[in-house]
């Protein structure tokens, strides 16, 4: 399965943003949360989810949104299932490496 992924150097941090393809450009709302899956943040190109998840090892801040990419990150031991929130039923997580 493909996802959108974007890797960007911001100061000392390497930010990786990954979203499932069907979510790009969508706005998710639940309660007080409004989450925009912005093209300029997530769209660095469409790649295979396994390739995107392998990029986590080189990033310091990671944003993941979508069932496919979040599940793959859990399967690969990058994030614990307790660290997932859902917005409109869509899983989202962040990883920050200190």
39-75 pLDDT per residue, tens: 999 999 999 999 999 999 999 999 999 999 999 999 9
Where do the H-state alpha helices sit in 3-98?
39-42, 49-54, 67-75
**Residue 98 confidence class, pLDDT cut points 50, 70, 90:** confident
Residues 6+ apart with CB under 8 A from 48: 1, 2, 3
pLDDT score at 60: 98
Report the CATH number of the 2-96 domain: 3.30.1860.10
pTM, two decimal places: 0.96
7-46 pLDDT per residue, tens: 999 999 999 999 999 999 999 999 999 999 999 999 999 9
Question: Where are the chain's structural domains?
Answer: 2-96
């Amino acid at each position: 399965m493909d996802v959108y992924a974007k890797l960007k150097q911001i100061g000392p941090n390497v930010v990786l943003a990954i979203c499932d393809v069907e979510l790009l450009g969508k706005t998710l709302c639940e309660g007080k949360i409004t989450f925009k899956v912005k093209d300029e943040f997530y769209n660095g190109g469409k790649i295979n989810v396994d390739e995107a998840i392998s990029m986590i090892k080189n990033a310091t801040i990671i944003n993941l949104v979508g069932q496919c990419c979040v599940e793959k990150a859990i399967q690969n031991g990058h994030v614990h299932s307790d660290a997932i929130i859902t917005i409109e039923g869509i899983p989202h997580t962040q990883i920050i490496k200190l």
